[in-house]
Amino acid sequence: MGYGVWGWFDYCDTNFPSDSVAKQTMYGKVLRINASTAQAVRAVLSVYPINSFVDDAVACMEVVGEPDTILLVMEEVQAEVKSLVGPDEN
């Protein structure tokens, strides 16, 4: 399945400039989900599968100044991704 311009989702915390980024999209507004990030990822990926035709279908930003730090939320999201695609594919 080719996603083209529809293929991007950003799961962001409050430090991300989501309002200004959303204004540049076709919808023009931020879509907020009142759930944990892991729950939101699970819900979206249940209807919108990860694109397996690209090398880097899932990415994560690093903690500023701490490139080796993995936050709990990052671990939770990675667990959701692994449960869908398997540990050897991401």
Distances 62 to 2, 3, 47, 74, 80 between C-alpha atoms, Å? 28, 26, 27, 10, 18
Please give the residue that has the higher pLDDT: either 78 or 88: 78
Query: Can you read off the two tokens belonging to residue 28?
Result: 């023009």
Please give the residue that has the higher pLDDT: either 54 or 35: 35
Would you state the pLDDT for residue 47? 85
Q: How far apart are the first and last CA of the chain?
A: 19
Distances 80 to 13, 30, 86 between C-alpha atoms, Å? 18, 23, 10
> For residue range 3-51, what is the model confidence (pLDDT) as tens digits?
454 566 777 777 778 888 888 888 888 888 888 888 888 888 888 888 7
Please give the residue that has the higher pLDDT: either 9 or 86: 9
Domain-by-domain residue ranges, the chain?
A: 4-89
Would you state the pLDDT for residue 7? 62
In the numeric block, the tokens 């035709």 are attached to: 53
Would you state the pLDDT for residue 1? 38
Would you state the pLDDT for residue 3? 46
Query: Can you read off the two tokens belonging to residue 68?
Result: 């080796």
pLDDT at 75 over 90: yes
